[in-house]
Amino acid sequence: MKYFAYVISMVLFVGGILLFGYAFSVPGIEAILFFLGIVAVSLSLYLPFHLHKLGDR
């Protein structure tokens, strides 16, 4: 389970960083892509912290 969470977190993190970069090159939906990048990076950091807390019970 730890490795699966790690892979999902890394995919979300890298995808969020890519969304940050693409947000400035796509006219019309810059704010949406940037916001989705923030959400993806936030989820990538939330998952390991939350799953680690559940594993300590």
**Cβ count within 10 A of residue 15:** 16
Q: Is the pTM of this model over 0.75?
A: yes
pLDDT score at 53: 67
Residues 5, 17: Cα–Cα separation, whole Å: 18
Q: What is the mean pLDDT of the chain?
A: 89
Annotated domain spans of the chain: 2-55
pLDDT score at 51: 79
pLDDT band of 56, cuts 50, 70, 90 = low
pLDDT band of 9, cuts 50, 70, 90 = very high
pLDDT score at 35: 97
Residues 52, 57: Cα–Cα separation, whole Å: 9
pLDDT score at 1: 64
Report the amino acid identity of residue 12.
Answer: L
N-term to C-term CA, the chain: 15
